[in-house]
A and B are shown apart, each in its own frame.
Chain A
Amino acid sequence: MTIPALLLLIMLAAPTVTVILSLALRYPRLAEYSNLAAAIINFILSFPLLVLALRGPMVFAHGYVLLDLLGAWVILCVTIVYLLSSIYAIGYMRLLDEEERLPLFYALFSGFALTMLLACVMNSAGVYWIAIELTTLVSTFLVRFERAAEGTEAAWKYIMVVSAGLALALLGTSFFYWGGSSVLGQTYAMTWANLLHCAPSVYPPLELVAFLLVLVGYGTKAGLAPMHTWLPDAHSESPAPVSAMLSGALLNTAILGIARYLGVVNKTAIGYMAHLAVVCFGIFSFVIAALFIVRQRGVKRLMAYSSVEHIGVQALGLGFGGVYGVAGALYHMLNHSLNKSLMFFGAGNAMRAYGTKEIPEIRGVLKTFPVTGTLWLLGAVGIAGAPPFALFLSEFTILRAGIAGPYRWAALLFIIFLIVIFIGFLSHFRDMCFAGDVTPAVHISGMFWRSLPMWLTFAPLLILGLWWPHELWSIFTEISATMFGGSR
């Protein structure tokens, strides 16, 4: 067994062991710490995997598992969020006072991480679809974990909308396979490489329909408007660590599928149309999110619409294409994962302390949480796209790609609604932090577990905003060159 295969195996085995241990022994503390251990192991392993992937794509397990640079990059983003939310979950879930249900929670939680990691390394378009479907099934039960009526409603809408969307993606997948069968014969492995190989000779109208189906299907999972309707409900009703995982990690795994299919059709006759479609979905998500952010009342729904916004930004980056577009989108993926985790952690703290999800009832955050409240506020400044935080750099890069390419109109709309979102998002935070009155808050315990991950996200956000490491840039240019055929 080669080293990369071994590392991948350990990475997938760690959360599996947590699932088994939590379900078999049902001991809350063990479940907590074994989940944390699995998260730490995965986080550490994701770096060597990324470095190994730089040598070129590798396949294992009879061609079913693929480790390539793009997959390894998404794995890194997923494991970062998994680690941060596992730390936060220890503090947060103890507040629910349901010790006996904790093992179930951590079993589902690590199972959710496992399915997301699986989706990143699947070499077959069909198996990737299955992995994405599994992430939905596992996370549905996490969404309704708090057992409120709203949570159940959100879970129902989530599984319904996403399953219907994914059915479209399955149809698109089989259309891609059908198109390829004119080149490779009736039976061939449905790998990304094979799809790429066949793509130029597929009948263009068929390929366009297939791509649009896949885009709408995985776009539903990624939360692109107008298929985003499940997202604000699911993200606002689930426990805060789960919200962070849904927003910071799950959306990336769906964007991975869109990026892979975009790479497949990039060099074909429909390449331009495909990019245009992705840009249009991106801009539409951006506009919808801006409008809902301005008038939002729920604090976690605010964060959820901000996720729609940032998925729109990533779609814009991929749609604009070129080295700047792809690099910006991938850098944005990491930055958004970090920043959105910070925002959901802050929102979870505020929700628990004030006992409400409504923004107008949350006042005086800085008085109640002098330290973590400040981090939360700075995170809000960062997520609205202001320097010196990392999202500014990635959004700026995507903007450069937009202005350089054929989509200037989209870049213009991007700037306008970026300003709208900046004003809308921060005005909510001004009210929560600086409006005169102070809502009485209850003291909540476990502050160590809940403030540590906030520091852990804040520090890299600041560093990555001031310094874009050259190694990351070379990874992005490599991905852009291998998948989208750009110059290095």
Chain B
Amino acid sequence: MFLSHITSLQASVFSSLAILSLLLTFVMLGSHWLRNYVYAFAVQSWLIAILSACVAYFGGFPELYMIAVMTALFRGLVLPYLLIRIVDRLNVKREIHTVLQSSSSMVLGALAVMFAYVIANHINQEMLPAAHIVVLALTVMLSMKLLGFLMLSVRDEAISQILGLLVLENGIFLGSQILVPGMPLLIEIVILFDLLIVVACFGMLVRYLVVHAGTTSSRQLNRLVG
């Protein structure tokens, strides 16, 4: 495992990239403006692309360069473009009815990160120095997961829910680049494409929601209960 003989420079590059991505998730959690979510997501994807490239360089996984390019292209450019188009079409600029104030959701998010750290510490079995970077990667991975779910549950707008889902997936991608850089290439490529299709489907559905249900706020999707 290449993490077991990692140098301190490499470790600090990985950790700063991971922590920056986590911070960007908090930016999304704290902001009400839909465009800001999309920009934060785009920057986060670029960071993950840089991370992939670093892992490829330091760990000697040349195929990860391709993943890095595709991540930057698809998640960093195409997906944000599609999302911005949806935002423009919807004519909704910001989340108006939030379940929680952004300050309280930030506090909840911080608690989620602590919880993620506890779990990460528990399931790590590596020794130092790899333990640092493994626990960090696991913490970021799990807390982006939890923050994504938090966004899904406290936000109403369709577009914020899509972004919540994308944050979930970004977390997995970020963590697995560090933990399992050798994951079969084909699977990663297909998952990238899959994401593109998912967002295309969401785009179509959002349009149907406007036409047929008359709203894109999940708060008003309450016809089906019981």
A→B interface (CB under 8 Å)? 124, 126-127, 130, 133-134, 137, 140-141, 144, 147-157, 159-160, 163-164, 167-168, 170-171, 174-175, 177-178, 181-182, 185-190, 203, 205-206, 209, 232-233, 236-237, 292, 295-298, 301
Contacts and interface: CB of A to CB of B under 8 A. Distances in A.
A31 B226 CA distance: 36
Given A157-B221, A159-B205, A186-B2, A296 B183 contact: no
B212 interface: yes
Contacts of B179: 174, 178
Given A181-B182, A190-B183, 7 more contacts: A155-B208, A156-B218, A187-B182, A187-B184, A203-B125, A205-B123, A206-B123
Nearest to A205: B123
8 contacts: A137-B198, A144-B205, A152-B212, A153-B224, A170-B169, A177-B183, A181-B182, A236-B224
A152 B168 contact: no
A137 B201 contact: yes
B73 to A, nearest CB: 20
A180 to B, nearest CB: 9
A124 B224 contact: no
Interface in B170-223: 171-172, 175-176, 179-184, 186-187, 190-191, 194, 197-198, 201-202, 204-205, 208-209, 212-214, 218, 221, 223
Q: What class of interface size applies to chain B in its complex with A? A: 35 or more
Max chain A C-beta neighbours (<10 A), residue from B172, B190, B224, B226 = B224
B158 interface: yes
Contacts of A296: 226
Given A150-B223, A178-B179, A164 B168 contact: yes
Contacts of A149: 212-214, 223
B165 A160 contact: yes
Contacts of A292: 226
Contacts of A177: 176, 180, 183
A127 B190 contact: yes
A150 B224 contact: yes
Nearest to A186: B182
B149 interface: yes
Interface in B51-80: none
A171 B180 contact: no
B226 A297 contact: yes
B110 interface: no
Given A171-B172, A186-B181, A153 B187 contact: no
A226 B194 CA distance: 26
A127 B187 contact: yes
| 9 A-B pairs closest in CB distance | A186-B182, A187-B182, A126-B187, A167-B168, A203-B125, A206-B123, A233-B224, A152-B212, A174-B176
Nearest to B119: A209
Contacts of A126: 183-184, 187, 191
Contact of B190 (A130, A157, A167): A130
B128 interface: no
B152 interface: yes
A402 B201 CA distance: 43
B213 A174 contact: no
Contacts of A233: 224
A151 B184 CA distance: 38
Contact of B194 (A130, A203, A301): A130
Nearest to A171: B172
Contacts of A163: 165, 198
A167 B166 CA distance: 9
A167 B172 contact: yes
B35 interface: no
B42 interface: no
A155 B145 CA distance: 23
Given A149-B223, A186-B182, A209 B123 contact: yes
Contacts of B161: 160
A152 B205 contact: yes
Interface in B16-37: none
Contacts of A127: 186-187, 190
Nearest to B184: A190
A187 B176 CA distance: 13
A296 B197 CA distance: 36
A295 B225 CA distance: 12
